[in-house]
Amino acid sequence: MQLNETHDPTLRSWVAGADDRDGDFPPQNLPYGTFRHADDEPWRAGVAIGERILDLGRLATAAPFDGLAGEALAACAAPAHDGRLNGLMALGADHWHALRLALSRGLRADADAARRAPLEAALRPMAGARHATPAHIGDYTDFYISLHHATAVGRQFRPDQPLLPNYKWVPIGYHGRASSLGVQPAFRRPVGQTRPPRDGEPPAFGPSQRLDYELEMAIYIGPGNPQGQRIPMAQAEGHVFGLGLLNDWSARDIQAWEYQPLGPFLGKSFASTLSPWIVTLEALAPFRAPLRRPAGDPAPLPYLASDGNASAGAFDVRLQVDLSTELSRRAGHPAATLSRSNFRDAYWTVAQLVTHHTVNGCNLRAGDLLGTGTLSGPGPDEAGSLLELAEGGKSPLALPWGETRTFLQDGDEIRLSAHCVAPDRRRIGFGSACGRVLAADWA
Amino acid sequence: MQLNETHDPTLRSWVAGADDRDGDFPPQNLPYGTFRHADDEPWRAGVAIGERILDLGRLATAAPFDGLAGEALAACAAPAHDGRLNGLMALGADHWHALRLALSRGLRADADAARRAPLEAALRPMAGARHATPAHIGDYTDFYISLHHATAVGRQFRPDQPLLPNYKWVPIGYHGRASSLGVQPAFRRPVGQTRPPRDGEPPAFGPSQRLDYELEMAIYIGPGNPQGQRIPMAQAEGHVFGLGLLNDWSARDIQAWEYQPLGPFLGKSFASTLSPWIVTLEALAPFRAPLRRPAGDPAPLPYLASDGNASAGAFDVRLQVDLSTELSRRAGHPAATLSRSNFRDAYWTVAQLVTHHTVNGCNLRAGDLLGTGTLSGPGPDEAGSLLELAEGGKSPLALPWGETRTFLQDGDEIRLSAHCVAPDRRRIGFGSACGRVLAADWA
């Protein structure tokens, strides 16, 4: 992807808050989401800019853009999509670029009045906005692309062989549950069976005692592929619309008892939390970087080999997990940062995930979601889950206000956030994926 | 479920073929599906009756029914559902019964002209009909509820411990891929990585050499549940619309290499084949039967315990798998029956699957699909997959026309079929789920 005028770090905007140096949503970003301010409003597709949301549904009624940009805008506003981005996602990179360019030109500080007027009329406050998942997500696949996470978790179960023999060849993934994905602010602690206290006894049953979060990125598919036709590496990123954040909440005790031999099920499917905004691949173009794979590892099989250009590499995205608790919020303490990591430290690229997913002929559809799996980095303070940070419960984490945690307690709130920075660039951010644990509905 | 006049075994119909003693679609059945006769027609919801399909879209324009039956018919014809049954599924058992009763009264041989006329005007031939999946399937879960299958497959991998310790406590299941479900007549052999020929070498890569079928039943969800609210056993069947057939094609070699630690992925997601017709739970009411669980097995945990009435038991559905090959079809041989089994031999009931699936708060949605997993019976000729019948490739199956099979070859066609019979009852059938293997797209 070539850098273009939408990436110009000197771009400023006339929209309130868009020029805040620490803000997530400068004019170089322009992420897409779905929002409304009241339950009786229809969901709308929108673009985050500074402290405002540009209402694409309202903007479309003014039809300010011609050509591909106009088609792309109309797709955002089509009633069939109910404010979700599936229509735009299905159109592909030329349309995405055209709409981004048209929005950028209208939002920049030096836009003339004719360009600015329709956008200004379509601005809504970001404060008070509610969000839905930014796409109707047909299928959700969750991968496992952090070597550091796989090794740390594997070590707890198989100290002699933390990493299974397939890991460095196969981008390991599994099908996830789409219905329980949401931008929901809270969910109930799951109930279920867990391993019997002693072999041969009946399993235990009740609220999960080992509830955890997982720090992941969310990859949204753009145009899909027909069933039976795989997507080669050279075309893979053309099928990706953008990235968001994903918290793949996990009940470790339910999962440990149920997952043999077919994988995670009820330990995951109670809730997964998405961030409201999707940052497009085009917005991420200035933040490409090589993967940091360990030297000496085997080269990927030919179908997963990149053509060597930068676009096949990684994204330098800085990730962060923050925790607040009932006690910390009541006492007015700031949230505690549990860890920081970087998407660059993943073992497989976004393109490799798309190509691997379709190599067997599986069809992806616009709006499908690929989770990366927990994005832990190489250092002990870069772990993306409590399972790793507290070593499976053995090393309770001390919080600044005096509490400790091995797993999540009722009332705990986890906020995932992320941003990109680079020399001579404007910071762009992902907003956050935020969720709170409620007590189990269980007597 | 009480038997009622729609189950009367003496019912006859004025529709051609509906009184055929060996037919699948007598007036006691009335299964739902989605059909059209040409690519430029819209998909329509329909009911199979004898050699005809009752076009519910056309019937709805005549609005022949009042009350709940009229509402149910309108839901079948609503354009938003594009001929799929999701609208009807969401309404619940009272609506389903009302529509079934109204259709039964209009289709019976002694229906008066006023009742018969609008139905007659909406009949289309079954010959030449094409089908889509009968629902927009939001999520697909595949279970593993045949003890006989789990034991036979487990024995191949773990001779000393075929059955894992969780099996008799947890209805084992995993999330499947919804996008590649279809009523498609053919699919390409999948390509992928398989286990390295020798440890430490790179994996092999190419078309699957161990392609298999799996004989399953498909359970379609009716009204869903809100996220966080589980469905108790006593209400579980009220959330089930009906049953169909499912062939969960499996690339055993791809699966064996990829599935640790997160379960099946590309070994399954290339294609799964559904039968076009959904037989409703109400139609199945005369064919309830107790499960045949081994004596002495542990009682289910309380949340999975039935209240002891018949509706919590099994369904006596006779299942059959037939194979034809390029050679057999060219030579005019009839298809070979590979096995027969019965849904009664499953270890868990439909109600237990629904309750277990939601115990953690996972939300089901109307049209969601639960696969049962391979339905093998206790006998060696009741195995629901080639993996079992040919013992993982060790015992090639001799076909009547002289070929042998360990796994599927290009051109092989598998037809799953099923029906119910009981003394003094009319046979009702499921039609078939039929799919053919095409050569891999691979050079």
Q: How high is the pLDDT of residue A278?
A: 98
How do residues A47-96 score in pLDDT, each as one tens digit?
A: 999 999 999 999 999 999 999 999 999 999 999 999 999 999 999 999 99
- The CA angle B114-B115-B119, to the nearest 5 degrees, is 110
Q: How high is the pLDDT of residue B153?
A: 94
Q: Which residue has the tokens 């996602």?
A: A89
What is the distance in angstroms between the CA of the first residue and the CA of the last residue of chain A? 55
C-beta atoms of A172 and B258 within 8 A: yes
Cα B302 to Cα A202: distance, rounded to the nearest angstrom: 11
Considering only CB atoms, B180 lies closest to which of A199, A261, A363, namely A363
Residue A144 annotated in ligand binding? yes
Task: Count Cβ atoms below 10 Å from residue A234 Cβ, excluding itself.
Answer: 14
Considering only CB atoms, B191 lies closest to which of A176, A199, A360, namely A360
List the single residue in A with minimal CA-CA distance to B191: A360
Return the C-alpha torsion angle A37, A39, A44, A45, nearest 10: 80
A367 touches chain B (CB under 8 A): no
List the single residue in B with minimal CA-CA distance to A157: B261
Q: How high is the pLDDT of residue A312?
A: 60
- C-beta of residue A137 within 8 angstroms of C-beta of residue A367: yes
C-beta atoms of B166 and A257 within 8 A: yes
Residue A268 annotated in ligand binding? yes
Positive or negative: CA dihedral B199, B204, B210, B211 = positive
| Whole-structure pTM value | 0.97
Q: How far is B313 from chain A (nearest CA, A)?
A: 22
- C-beta of residue B29 within 8 angstroms of C-beta of residue B428: yes
Mean per-residue pLDDT over chain A, rounded: 96
Catalytic residue flag (residue B149): yes
Residue A303 annotated in ligand binding? no
How do residues A225-248 score in pLDDT, each as one tens digit?
A: 999 999 999 999 999 999 999 999
DSSP percent split of chain A into helix, strand, coil, nearest 5: 25, 25, 50
Confidence of residue A413 (pLDDT cuts 50, 70, 90): very high
Q: How high is the pLDDT of residue B308?
A: 60
Q: Which residue is catalytic, options A81, A149, A356, A357?
A: A149
- DSSP for A107-153, written as a single string: HBTT--HHHHHHHHHTEEESTT-EEE-SS--S-EEEE---HHHHHHH
Interface of A with B in 127-166 (CB under 8 A): 138-139, 141-142, 144, 154, 164-166
Q: Which residue is catalytic, options B149, B239, B357, B419?
A: B149
A260 touches chain B (CB under 8 A): yes
How do residues A96-113 score in pLDDT, each as one tens digit?
A: 999 999 999 999 999 999
How do residues B76-98 score in pLDDT, each as one tens digit?
A: 999 999 999 999 999 999 999 99
Cα A59 to Cα A45: distance, rounded to the nearest angstrom: 10
Q: How high is the pLDDT of residue A310?
A: 46
A170 touches chain B (CB under 8 A): yes
Pick the CATH number of B140-438 from 3.90.850.10, 3.40.50.150, 3.100.10.20, 3.40.50.2020: 3.90.850.10
Q: How far is A79 from chain B (nearest CA, A)?
A: 12
Positions of CATH 2.30.30.230 in chain B: 5-132
Positions of CATH 3.90.850.10 in chain B: 140-438
Q: How high is the pLDDT of residue A291?
A: 84
**Predicted complex ipTM:** 0.97
Q: Tell me the β-bridge partners of A140.
A: A369
| Optimal mutation site among B133, B273, B360, interface A, most CBs of chain A within 10 A | B360
Q: How high is the pLDDT of residue A158?
A: 84
Q: Which residue has the tokens 């994905």?
A: A181
C-beta atoms of A178 and B138 within 8 A: yes
- C-beta of residue A335 within 8 angstroms of C-beta of residue A328: yes
Residue A167 annotated in ligand binding? no
Stretches where chain B sits below pLDDT 70 are: 307-312, 443
Q: Of A36, A48, A22, A14, which is closest to residue A283 (Cα–Cα)?
A: A48
Q: Token digits for B331?
A: 């030579």
How do residues A114-162 score in pLDDT, each as one tens digit?
A: 999 999 999 999 999 999 999 999 999 999 999 999 999 999 888 888 9
C-beta atoms of A264 and B301 within 8 A: no
B253 touches chain A (CB under 8 A): no
Q: How high is the pLDDT of residue B310?
A: 46
C-beta atoms of B359 and A266 within 8 A: yes
Residue A374 annotated in ligand binding? yes
C-beta atoms of B262 and A169 within 8 A: no
C-beta atoms of B361 and A271 within 8 A: yes
Q: How high is the pLDDT of residue A308?
A: 60
Q: How far is B329 from chain A (nearest CA, A)?
A: 25
C-beta atoms of B362 and A270 within 8 A: yes
Q: State the average pLDDT over residues A4-27.
A: 96
C-beta atoms of B193 and A170 within 8 A: yes
Give the three-class secondary structure for B71. helix
B266 touches chain A (CB under 8 A): yes
Q: Tell me the β-bridge partners of B108.
A: B13
Cα A241 to Cα A224: distance, rounded to the nearest angstrom: 11
Q: How far is B174 from chain A (nearest CA, A)?
A: 5
Q: How far is A35 from chain B (nearest CA, A)?
A: 20
How do residues A253-311 score in pLDDT, each as one tens digit?
A: 999 999 999 999 999 999 999 999 999 999 999 999 988 888 899 999 999 998 665 45
Taking domain B5-132, whether its CATH number is 2.30.30.230 is answered by yes
Q: How far is A299 from chain B (nearest CA, A)?
A: 10
List the single residue in A with minimal CA-CA distance to B203: A169
